[in-house]
Structure 1
């Protein structure tokens, strides 16, 4: 599904590359030579928008495990569509809900399986086996720290629902077989694809300083309307009407936001925008994917 959200808003404004991210990326590149396996974590609602364009360069010849987190925020049907699509790309995605621990054991097994191969090569060269070293890479706030905490079985990495909590790189011993490098969220230095940038903003996978809530909430409504028109069976029936008792289908995103403000928030458009985004991010509007596989 292709959308042209930015055409509606002439929005070329979402750029966010704070200093700590630039520094973390430099440190990450220095550490990558010590890493055997890359766990690439993406947001299951926007698996394409949360793919970092430099990922293949960082991975090189290492084993890469693709993790689509927040599987609880899409339907089983959408999950199946992505499984089929990634198969055409010769990739196998692992779906997780890191907050609840769903799917995490399979990630650990996949990383350790890569280690078996690594240590066989070490033995063949007369070297002692060692734990496999894995790194978790992804955009801010896609659930990397929650995944590490689940892999560990205890909370050692600060995890919060705001981008940029992890500021430094650190190695964490998961087991005798596995060590993990927790890296801060990385984003491209320039967000060339503004449709993707809007989706990152809607999902809160990028810093709030980079966007205007009202523009992003309006774009979200347009996207929901587009999905309702093109793939109604893949999202809840009239999710905005169900939540706010105001149907969005006859409105543009911007006009709906103003109507919603009048209807529920005493005309406060900013409050309406914030509430819409918060409700989506908390799953209160139901399971709404913002991307579907492109045929």
Structure 2
């Protein structure tokens, strides 16, 4: 279960036309696929789970990929590994930009498809490459993962949502073919807390949200996580392993614990940017997205399993 918190935000909605077309095409192509690689953002593994994925997967094998593992601590990685195991799922962690963990993804996809060729041989048919599809929200690293699997740049990859707009097949090896699909997102973002996290992580289009509201929401989440982690754990060392110590104080010289997100944003604007709250908001979001604030998860299971 995710940590919950209520935010007074304008409605965040984003559903570009190309996504509707891509989703329709994806459903057609899924009939040809043996394995589904679902890529999520390791900082927000619940918010980047599309509610329709399980319906799309059906009886096919699913490989769960948590990308951007470099942006969470080893302790947080272990917490999520254990949590997903309890849910009956095995999470594989990658840093697609650097190629970390990618070999394990290729092996998992091929292993999942082995049964396909065993059945083909039993029917007197020749084996064929395993067909896998890479799906997930925009900007979670799907194209970067494919480029690493192929070991060359075959699909466009950029640190912004909505770059991939069409489906295309990419041959990885004699054993594996991958379908690169554009990011898919629910037609309506019912969960506005999840939408906020998508905006913070730059996983939806910038035109869909207000930077100041999102930056203030980020501060509220950090304060909430800090309070939750400290409540659930007793040792400072464990807390530090989950969240960086004084993660905002050391960067901005303002202690966020005494402020709401909105108050912190305006205090930072007053101290550094001549009262320009928009500039302060962009600074906070850019610092987080670049990892300048340290390894910060925006979601943790309620039961951290550490107390």
Task: Give me the whole-angstrom Cα distance separating, in 1, the residues matched to 2:302 and 2:57.
Answer: 24
Any stretches of 5+ residues in structure 2 without a counterpart? 231-238
Q: Which residue of 1 aligns with 2:55?
A: 57
Given candidates 44, 47, 50, the residue that maps to 1:46 is: 44
Structure 2: distance between partners of 1:248 and 1:168: 43
In the TM superposition, residue 117 of structure 1 has moved relative to its aligned partner by 1.4
Q: How does 1:123-162 map to 2 (within 5 A)?
A: 123-162=121-160
Q: Partner residue of 2:276?
A: 268
CA offset digits 1:76-96 (Å, max 9, x no partner) = 111111111111110000000
Whole-Å Cα distance in 1 between the matches of residues 186 and 124 of structure 2? 41
In 2, the alpha carbon distance for the partners of 1:80 and 1:14 equals: 31
**TM-score if structure 1 supplies the norm length?**
0.97
Measured in 1, the distance between the counterparts of 2:4 and 2:268 equals 23
Secondary structure of the equivalent of 1:61? Answer: coil
SS of the residue corresponding to residue 135 of structure 2 reads: strand
Residues 180-203 of structure 1, C-alpha deviations (whole Å, 9 max, x = no match) = 000000000111111111001100
- Root-mean-square deviation over aligned CA pairs: 0.9
In the TM superposition, what whole-angstrom CA distance separates every residue of 1:100-157 from its partner, at most 9, and x where no partner exists?
A: 0110000000111122211001111121110000000000000000000000100111
SS at match of 1:231: helix
Asked whether the equivalents of residues 67 and 93 of structure 1 are also in contact (C-alpha less than 8 Å), the reply is: yes
Displacement after TM superposition at 1:229 (Å): 1.4
CA distance in 2, matches of 1:173, 1:226: 45
Q: Secondary structure at the match of 1:249?
A: helix
Q: CA deviation at 1:12?
A: 5.0
Structure-1 residue corresponding to 2:219: 221
Q: Given the alignment of the two structures, is residue 71 of structure 1 paired with residue 69 of structure 2, yes or no?
A: yes
Name the structure 2 match of 1:4: 5
Q: Report SS of the residue matched to 2:248.
A: helix
Which stretches of structure 1, 4 residues or longer, exceed 4 Å deviation after superposition?
A: none
Separation in 1, partners of 2:142, 2:302: 26
Q: Which residue of 2 aligns with 1:247?
A: 255
Q: Is the 8 A contact 1:5 1:223 kept in 2?
A: no
Indicate whether 1:286 and 2:287 are aligned.
Answer: no
Give the Cα separation in 2 of the matches to 1:273 and 1:49: 22
Q: Does 1:88 align with 2:79?
A: no
259-268 or 175-184, larger mean C-alpha shift: 259-268
The separation in 1 between residues aligned to 2:101 and 2:3, in whole angstroms, is: 29
Q: Where do 5+ consecutive residues of structure 1 fail to align? A: none
Q: When the two structures are superposed, what TM-score results if normalisation uses the length of structure 2?
A: 0.93
CA distance in 2, matches of 1:175, 1:149: 13
Q: Residues of 2 paired with 1:124 and 1:20: CA distance?
A: 41
Q: What does residue 202 of structure 1 align with? A: 200
Query: Which residue does the alignment assign to 2:265?
Result: 257
